[in-house]
Structure 1
Amino acid sequence: MRDFDQMGLVVDWVDACRRGDLATLLDLYADDAEVECTCNGTRLYRGRRELETYWGPKLNAFPSAGFGLEEIHPAQNGVDLEYSVAGALRIRASFRFSAEGKIHSTLCEPAHQDAYEGCVC
């Protein structure tokens, strides 16, 4: 049983993305967390250093491009989120959590669109 607010944690994730706040974003992830991105082929990033390499350039682009929360809802083992970048590009992200109340894994993929070159998730 999870005794922390999973939805609240994802909202904190959204807020960090909107602000371009890499340090806060990384602090939401467990030390052994991983991000799997399937936007332009499948890539897996593990641990804080790889997550920093993955998220740093993306967060720099979000504030100027615009980052919008489209949908958020509980899922069987976590939270599913859909967000938009630049008002058009929509990304689906599924979050799973550690027992300590941190993000353990994120899977992102394009949502509601055809294959898109240059996905920023």
Structure 2
Amino acid sequence: MSNLGTGFDPIGIVIDWLDACRERRLEDLLALYADHATLDCCSGERFVGGSGLLRYWSAKLRGATAAAFELEEILIEQDCIRLDYRDYDGSAVSTKFWFDAEGSITRTLCVPLGRKSARFKAA
């Protein structure tokens, strides 16, 4: 994914997203999403728009463990940014982020990471 000509830094936005999660800043986290964004969760559930994201993130941030939101790795993929990290409950997950032209997150897709993938730590 290239940010040439877009006027925003997708990796920077993902770092802001992770920081907002880590610091339990719900309003800042929600502000990173587009109005009609979708969040596809590891559980198979889909959350859509502001009300769906609020419902999802309120519970996750409230129930976050001490090991939550630890960075493992950030990768640039062909059409998105992939973040490997520790989820709210400390489990290893990978979330892909897609953006609109203004730099708002339009979609996230989360999948569990296997043990082999989780061993690669960010420097």
Deviation at 1:34, TM superposition (A): 0.6
Q: Does 1:18 align with 2:22?
A: yes
C-alpha change, 1:47 and 1:63, in structure 2 (3 Å) is same
Please say if residues 93 and 110 of structure 2, whose CA atoms lie closer than 8 Å, have aligned partners that are also in contact.
yes
Supply the AA of the counterpart residue of 2:7.
D
Supply the RMSD in Å over aligned alpha carbons.
1.8
> Taking structure 2 as the reference length, what is the TM-score of the superposition?
0.82
Deviation at 1:65, TM superposition (A): 4.3
Q: Which residue of 1 aligns with 2:58?
A: 56
Q: Which residue of 1 aligns with 2:121?
A: none
- Give aligned-pair identity as a percent: 41
For 1:1-121, what aligned pairs fall within 5 Å after superposition?
Answer: 1-37=5-41, 39-40=42-43, 42-62=44-64, 64-85=66-87, 89-113=91-115
Deviation at 1:89, TM superposition (A): 1.3
Q: Which is strand-richer, 1 or 2?
A: 1
Please say if residues 61 and 88 of structure 2, whose CA atoms lie closer than 8 Å, have aligned partners that are also in contact.
no
Supply the AA of the counterpart residue of 1:36.
D
Please say if residues 64 and 89 of structure 2, whose CA atoms lie closer than 8 Å, have aligned partners that are also in contact.
no
| Matched pairs, number | 111
Deviation at 1:59, TM superposition (A): 1.0
After superposition, give the CA deviation of every residue in 1:26-73 in whole Å (9 maximum; x if it has no partner).
Answer: 000000101011x22x11111011100011111122264432000101
Q: Distance in 1 between matches of 2:46 and 2:52?
A: 9
Runs of 4+ in 1 over 3 A off after TM superposition: 63-66, 85-88
Q: Distance in 1 between matches of 2:89 and 2:30?
A: 25
Which structure 1 segments of 5+ residues have no match? 114-121
Q: Distance in 1 between matches of 2:45 and 2:18?
A: 21
